[in-house]
Amino acid sequence: MDYDYFVKQQSEVLREAAGDGRAINALSGGVDSAVVTVLGHRALGDRLKTIFVDNGLMREGEPERVVSTFTAMGIPVERIDARDEFLGALAGLTDPEEKRRAVTTSFYQGVFGRVVRETGARILLHGTILTDIEETVAGIKRQHNILAQLGIDPEREYGYQVLEPLQTLRKNEVRALARHLGMGVELTERIPFPGPGLATRIVGEVTPERLETVRAATAIVEDELASSGAFQYLAVLLGDKATGIRAGCREFGQIIVVRCVASRDAREATAVELPWAKLQRICGRITELPGVNRCLYDLTPKPPATIEYV
């Protein structure tokens, strides 16, 4: 693929669509939205406003890390603190689809709608890639093409047009484009992290306490498996509890599942055969977390499982 040509062509499309107007995009820190951000700023300069929505569902230190990485690249990113709004919308929900809907609605109808109105932006840049479109069309995913799934015509509803500059690329091509654009390895090789964040890794209700547990477990798994070369690795908090023993007393505690998968593009995946000693180490660290007394390793391939749990 001729990435110079791709960048030139997409920049022309963006400039033409934006005209004299303003554009907006939301950066999550993932490679897709990161590439859209760099591409968009090269094409539109400060007519593109990039926001980072802190939904309270991010990993440890992630909001600060993402904003400072882009600031260092000369791209200003506005952090919007919407933690209460998202957690409020998730309170009391246990159904996976309702939880996903609460996150997307808080994002598009809440925070994003407000920012669009405030800035008067007419164009929204979105990091949709080819696999997202294929999986949505095949009915495998419901998280992409979300505005249409919510029955929202963005042009009519909010007065903005959605542009998807990466829609012909697959993940490996997005990573190659990121390298071509001179982005650092912390962005180009970042493991996938879902838009609804840690909410996809909590079975049952998402509460500040449960988020704290899964966030701490995630940090341990990422620390231990960073050099595994796996496609993705994560921690999940189950809705069930189990009896255990701590400090000589019986305790009804939380259960964390560790998942580590090999995959090409997330459409299919297999569990990685991790060394027993590594698994034991992870288990030891995770069961030191307050209230967690079990740690399981998930062997299930996709299909029939998905990679995330919600």
Q: Which residues bind ligand XMP (CB under 6 A)?
A: 143, 192, 194-196, 200, 232, 266, 302, 306-308
For ligand XMP, the closer of residues 269 and 286 by Cβ is: 269
HEC string of the chain equals: CCHHHHHHHHHHHHHHHHCCCCEEEECCCCHHHHHHHHHHHHHHHHHEEEEEEECCCCCCCHHHHHHHHHHHCCCCEEEEECHHHHHHHHCCCCCHHHHHHHHHHHHHHHHHHHHHHHHCCCEEECCCCHHHHHHHHCCCCCCCCHHHHCCCCHHHHCCCEEECCCCCCCHHHHHHHHHHCCCCHHHHCCCCCCCCHHHHHECCCCCHHHHHHHHHHHHHHHHHHCCCCCCEEEEEEEEEEEEEEECCEEEEEEEEEEEEEECCCCCCEEECCCCHHHHHHHHHHHCCCCCEEEEEECCCCECCCCCCCC
**Minimum CB distance to ligand XMP smaller for 161 or for 306:** 306
Find the length of the chain.
Answer: 310
Q: Least separation, in Å, of the C-beta of 32 and ligand XMP?
A: 8
Give the nearest distance from C-beta 64 to ligand XMP in angstroms: 21
Which residues are paired to 253 by β-bridges? 242
Minimum CB distance to ligand XMP, residue 293 (Å): 26
Question: Cβ 308 to ligand XMP, closest distance in Å?
Answer: 3
Q: How far is the CB of 196 from ligand XMP (least distance, A)?
A: 5
Backbone phi, then psi, for 79, in 5-degree steps? -90, 125
| Cβ closest to ligand XMP, residue 94 vs residue 143 | 143
Between 94 and 306, name the residue whose CB sits nearer to ligand XMP: 306
End-to-end Cα distance, the chain: 35
| Contact call for residues 129 and 30 (beta carbons, < 8 A) | no
Minimum CB separation of residue 90 from ligand XMP in Å reads 14
CB nearer to ligand XMP: give 253 or 309: 309
Peptide bond preceding 63: is omega within 30 degrees of 0, i.e. cis? no
Residue nearest to ligand XMP (CB): 143
Minimum distance from residue 198 beta carbon to ligand XMP (Å):
11
- State which residue, 10 or 136, has the beta carbon closest to ligand XMP: 136
Between 40 and 195, whose beta carbon lies closer to ligand XMP? Answer: 195
Q: Toward ligand XMP, which CB reaches closer, 36 or 307? A: 307
Least distance in Å: CB of 249 to ligand XMP? 37
